[in-house]
Amino acid sequence: MKKILTLCVAMVMAVAVSARTYQHSVGMVAGLGIGAQYKTMVMENFTILAEFGYFTCPSNVSYAGAIAHGVFAYQANILESDGIRLDYYAGGQVKSGYGNGGYGVIGVGAAGGIEANMHNAPIAFSFDFRPGYGCVLIPGTMLGGSGLYAGHMFDYSFNLGVRYTF
């Protein structure tokens, strides 16, 4: 009985370890800009993705500059075969940064996409869509006045990420 119990515990632990293919990953992201990514699993199915880079906004109140994104998402498995594990993820994001023209950028949004993890190589590919709402904060001195002016916009981006997993 003791041997059977030990074997069952070992099998459950092996399945739990193989269910998560990595704990941390670092890499690059490209979309409406380019930047560096760091992703970590904070709980079994929850991840935090941090990005910093040079991004642009495709809206009527355009910005381009150094922007930091933080994404908190739920991630779960879609399918797993011999060489690849495919996951989906969905969550929310916050962003802040500094635009080229001397203004600030803040915003919130959603994030959803798919991620492919290679079993034979320590690499993960991701593709996501991020719709959001943001504000461009423009100092009044730039507009010939005083105070702080805000340009509101809806923005979006499609992003491709490549990360080394460990």
The pLDDT tens digits for 98-115 are: 887 778 889 999 999 999
Predicted confidence band of residue 159 (pLDDT cuts 50, 70, 90): very high
Confidence of residue 2 (pLDDT cuts 50, 70, 90): low
Average pLDDT over residues 71-82: 95
Higher-confidence residue: 153 or 74?
74
Of the candidates 63, 157, 69, the one whose C-alpha atom is nearest the C-alpha of residue 103 is: 63
Query: What residues contact residue 81 under an 8 Å CB cut-off, 6+ apart?
Result: none
Render pLDDT for 129-147 as a digit per residue (tens, 0 to 9): 999 998 888 877 666 777 7
**What span, in angstroms and rounded, lies between the C-alpha atoms of 30 and 114?**
15
Mean model confidence pLDDT for the chain: 85
> So what's the pLDDT on residue 1?
53
Strand stretches in 31-122, DSSP E: 33-41, 46-56, 64-80, 84-99, 104-118
Residue 120 or residue 143, greater confidence = 120
Closest by Cα among 81, 82, 89, 73 to 125: 89
Q: Quick check: 70 and 49 in contact, CB under 8 A?
A: yes
State how far the Cα of 18 lies from the Cα of 122, in Å rounded to an integer: 14
Domain locations in the chain? 22-165
Quote the pLDDT of residue 14.
40
Output the CATH code of domain 22-165.
2.40.160.20
Contacts of 57 (CB under 8 A, 6+ apart): 32, 63, 64, 105, 134, 153, 155
d(CA 82, CA 102): 51
